[in-house]
Amino acid sequence: MTFMTAAANPPTIVLIGHGMVGHRFLEALAERRVPDRARVVVLCEEPRPAYDRVQLTSYFSGRTPDELSLVAEDFMARHGIELHIGDPATSIDRAARTVTARSGLTITYDTLVLATGSYPFVPPVPGKDAEGCFVYRTIEDLLAIEEYAAGSRTGAVVGGGLLGLEAAGALKGLGLATHVVEFAPRLMPVQVDEGGGEALRRTIEKMGVEVHTGVGTQEIVTGEGGSVIAMNLSDGSVLDTDLVVFSAGVRPRDQLARECGLPVGERGGIVVDEWCRTPEDERVYAIGECALAADGRVYGLVAPGYDMAVAAAQAIAGEAGGSFTGADTSTKLKLLGVDVASFGDAHGTTPGCLDVHYCDSRSGIYKKLVIAEDGTLLGGVLVGDADAYGMLRPLTGSIPPLAPEQLVLPSGAAAPAALGPSALPDDAVICNCHNVTKGTIRAAVTEHECTTVPQVKKCTKAGSGCGSCVKVLTTLVNEELKAGGITVEAGLCGCFSHTRAELYEIVRALRITSYADLLDRHGRQEARGGEGCEICKPTVASIIASLAPTIGAGGYVLDGEQASLQDTNDHFLANLQKNGSYSIVPRIPGGEITPEKLIVIGEVARDFGLYTKITGGQRIDMFGARVDQLPLIWARLVDAGFESGHAYGKALRTVKSCVGQTWCRYGVQDSVKMAIDLELRYRGLRSPHKLKSAVSGCARECAEARGKDFGVIATSHGWNLYVGGNGGADPRHADLLAQDLSDAELVRLIDRFLMFYIRTADRLERTSAWLERIDGGLEHVRDVVVHDSLGICDELEALMADHVANYRDEWAQTLNDPDRLRRFVSFVNAPDAPDPSVCFTPERDQIKPDLEILAGPTLPVRTLEGTPSA
């Protein structure tokens, strides 16, 4: 390039447009130190620098416009780039090599880059400019919609594509009754096929968004004040709405280029070559959505735009090699919470191609693979469950090692020989965001000595973009480590090379009742005779507690050696909170409580000055007790008939219930009684992690039983049992294990299920994760606990019978024994002194921890000799 040798008068590069692609271009220039030797001027139309337009909808989940910004605070200053905000270019004079902006500013350029993006296409329907009509493209659009929506109840989106569904998500987020109107016969017509569109439609309608497909918008109807009141649709129907968002696609913004005589495509887009340069004028480039790339396509995705930005920056910096000749338009995204992925020849346009479908309209899952006659995978569509995307996209163009029907079946139903990443060729791209191949990831382990996934991520950048490939990446790294002879530890911790399930079998078979015994006889050589660790101690304590009656161990979890193994929560039979105080949860079986007992809880909380809160499990939590207050509080509670709620233990927590048949006009069974029975049966059962349950009295499911480890839903014939549900960070609906059970059948199945879980799960593995991990999944568990395929059901039932027969309330046992009460002091040498660091301040008529006192100046650190350190 001419300017590379210029010295006295540095050349000027003008960038028109500061969107995502424009900013990536500036970064690419900065990476090549171009701003050091050239003047860079940016004209930006919007009132703010580049921001993450892809994440626009996240504004409604709490992200501020500032958080969406892509520009590091000092980026422009550090690189000496002149950014003119809110001053769009209005004309280009190629002969004079000048650009003029709206403010009148005229700049002479040596190189000009157009990154003007696209504009939303608004169909030419009457009324389209009425008050209440919007487009969805910029933060300003979004703020305007938000303001107008405050006075609206219903909103309609014209367009059911990717952006239309994003906009629908936004309207829903604003609390509007939301409609989507799509001219094509299905949603997302570009990315998915008919079946995928149908699955998407069902799921989105379930969320309360009304979908109208196969209809066009004919007119926007306005009221007397000139604002939107309805839409007339092509099928003759009228849709009442207060607000309309047009999201019917985008068009390249190529007006500036047209006006200065640069060629544009038939359907728009500034014609560029593989270096993103206009063939007419080698000083002018165009990148991103405004460009018609060398392969004759306009790309509306950000990733190809970024590639163009880099290609142009390389060309301008005089670097060889970079070019943009086309891009993979595979996408995986989450729209309104639904996974949607499309890759390769998603629509099966290759001559002679065949396809394989999997469709489960119950769960809203649709999968289609397009296969060539010789078995080559050509592409596919995944809706509702896109986990396989990470594996399938890299396999596109090759013959997969498994039959296509096995590739689309859900993991539980798939053939055992599941497809692993080891089947991928070395040149398969694993991380699409950073273009990292399997070979590069393997080399990170074999050549760059990475031994963990985070190290490989740092070394290769793989998995640091959208994150969809992390699962596959982890498997690859582990396999490579294994192949290299580096053991991937399956053992519980540094003390035991066994898993939790293996330790359970050892303890059960050899009737080992002591942790020290287990460590010294079965621990790793180097750990024997040692102290153990904070991981295996509570795990072994839990195993011994689960098996206590059967192996002849003491039933009280704090006797003898057991006392030294328990986490502080189990040790004080209460829950440690952030300032060193504890919280207390008495058991309220099934959430049913008498007024008298409620009054006792109120009185105890008031007398001890505790903060009270209703829990999610239909109980009452009392916070802010010092250790020395715990026995005093529990003496009152036990006296009133309460017992431990085990909120502190990896044990059964609650069995929640709806009010059931007794009161509810819809109820078909007595859900409260069943919940109480189950809670009393399994109370105190120690397990690998906490256990939650619920019983609903009818299919309306008010107790949310399918979000629990074991959930029961009444039918007119009995009970349906669901297992493996979870709320929290990784929600999962429980799976149906058996249906229409009698009371006795239900209890027997739960007995078996819980004991089988306790026996085989890993440490801190909830039933949901266990069910996903265990070989054979739900089917295997059903075989074992329903059909007794392993012949262990008698034993599982006997274990539970032992537990039920030997249950004692831990707090009553503690209060009855002065020795056991000794530990409940703040200070061993001052049993009557309360801990002065546990303090509280008032908030909303209750207390909260006083954290200032804990953050206060710490006492001087002293050396071993007891003198102040220098």
* Count of all residues that appear for the chain in the document: 870
Of the candidates 8, 95, 805, 859, which one interacts with another protein according to CB under 8 A?
A: 859
Among 150, 509, 744, 864, binds another protein (CB under 8 A): 864
123 class by beta-carbon count within 10 Å (0-12 exposed, 13-18 middle, 19+ buried)? middle
Quick one: which of 333, 506, 563, 632 contacts another protein (CB under 8 A)?
Answer: 563
Question: Which tokens is 613 given?
Answer: 């809160």
Please report how the helices 671-682 and 743-760 are oriented relative to each other, as an axis angle in degrees rounded to 10: 40
Closest CB 527 distance from another protein, rounded Å = 8
Q: Determine which residue in the list 534, 730, 788, 817 makes contact with another protein, applying CB under 8 A.
A: 534
Instruction: Decide: residue 349, CB within 10 A, 0-12 exposed, 13-18 middle, 19+ buried.
Output: exposed
Least separation, in Å, of the C-beta of 109 and another protein?
Answer: 52
Among 494, 549, 554, 727, binds another protein (CB under 8 A): 494
Out of 219, 479, 561, 802, the residue judged to bind another protein by CB under 8 A: 561
Contacts by 225-232, CB closer than 8 A, 24 or more apart: 225/131, 226/130, 226/131, 227/130, 227/131, 227/132, 228/127, 228/130, 228/131, 228/132, 228/133, 231/156, 231/158, 231/181
- Asked if residue 839 binds another protein (CB under 8 A), the reply is no
- Shorter beta-carbon distance to another protein: residue 493 or 734: 493
Give, as one character, the DSSP assignment of residue 131. B
CB of 459 to another protein, least distance (A): 23
Residue 465 or 580: the one with the smaller Cβ distance to another protein is 580
Q: How far is the CB of 541 from another protein (least distance, A)?
A: 10
CA dist 338 → 34, 121, 342, 409 (Å): 42, 25, 13, 18
By beta-carbon proximity to another protein, the closer residue of 628 and 745 is 628
Q: CB under 8 Å to 563, separation ≥6 — which residues?
A: 571, 823
User: Is position 678 an interface residue for another protein (rule: CB under 8 A)?
Assistant: no
> Which distant-in-sequence residues (6+ apart) come within 8 Å of 690 by Cβ?
649, 650, 651, 652, 653, 766
Closest contact distance (angstroms) between CB of 575 and another protein is 11
| Piece of the chain touching another protein by CB under 8 A; list 127-135, 724-732, 790-798, 857-865 | 857-865
Q: Which residue has the tokens 């069995």?
A: 655
Stretch that binds another protein, among 45-53, 414-422, 524-532, 632-640 (CB under 8 A): 524-532
Give the count of residues interacting with another protein (CB under 8 A): 46
| Subset of residues 566 to 595 that bind another protein, contact rule: CB under 8 A | 567-568, 571-572, 576, 578-580
H/E element, 796: helix 793-806
Q: Does 229 bind another protein (CB under 8 A)?
A: no
Q: Applying CB under 8 A, does 701 fall inside the site for another protein?
A: no
β-partners of residue 41 are 14, 82
The yes or no reply on residue 870 touching another protein (CB under 8 A) is no
- Is the Cβ of residue 538 or residue 589 nearer to another protein in the bound state? 538
**Which position among 301, 533, 551, 632 is part of the footprint of another protein (CB under 8 A)?**
533
**Footprint on residues 811-830 left by another protein (CB under 8 A):** 822-823, 826-830
| Residues 6+ positions from 483 with CB-CB distance below 8 Å | none
What is the nearest approach in angstroms of another protein to the Cβ of residue 689?
16
* H helix count then E strand count, the chain: 27, 39
Element (H, E) at 27: helix 20-31
Site membership for another protein, residue 452 (CB under 8 A) = no
What 3-state DSSP class applies to 250? Answer: strand
Work out whether 537 is an interface residue with another protein (CB under 8 A): yes
What is the rounded distance in angstroms from the CA atom of residue 75 to the CA atom of residue 24?
12
Choose, by CB under 8 A, the member of 837, 839, 846, 848 that binds another protein: 837
Instruction: Choose, by CB under 8 A, the member of 557, 565, 600, 658 that binds another protein.
Output: 565
Asked if 862 is part of the footprint of another protein (rule: CB under 8 A), the reply reads yes
Distance CA 109, CA 11 (A): 7
Q: Distance between CA 465 and CA 473 in Å, rounded?
A: 13
* Shortest Å distance, C-beta 627 to another protein: 9
Which residues make up the interface to another protein (CB under 8 A)? 494, 516, 527, 530-534, 537-538, 561, 563-565, 567-568, 571-572, 576, 578-580, 822-823, 826-830, 833, 835-838, 851, 854-856, 858-859, 861-862, 864-867
